[in-house]
Amino acid sequence: MPFTPDAKKALELSLREALAAKSREILPEHLLLGLISGDVPAARLLADHGFDLATLRARLLA
């Protein structure tokens, strides 16, 4: 089953997060960072449900 354009974008952002962290693999925290980075449906959904994406990102990076 092919990925949707939004899924591809989230995976690309996850890979960028993993590379920025100098990780050799995409870990769950990189996936979540990819999902909350950029204009993807998951980020909008979380924001619409009251999540502060900047705070979530800071906690994941800590």
Q: What residues make up the domain containing 15?
A: 5-61
At 4-53, the pLDDT tens digits run 998 899 899 999 999 999 999 999 999 999 999 878 888 999 999 999 99
Q: What is the CATH number of the domain that holds 19?
A: 1.10.1780.10
Burial tier of 22 (Cβ tally within 10 Å: 0-12, 13-18, 19+): exposed
Number of domains in the chain: 1
Element at 7 (helix H, strand E)? helix 5-20
Q: Give the pTM.
A: 0.81
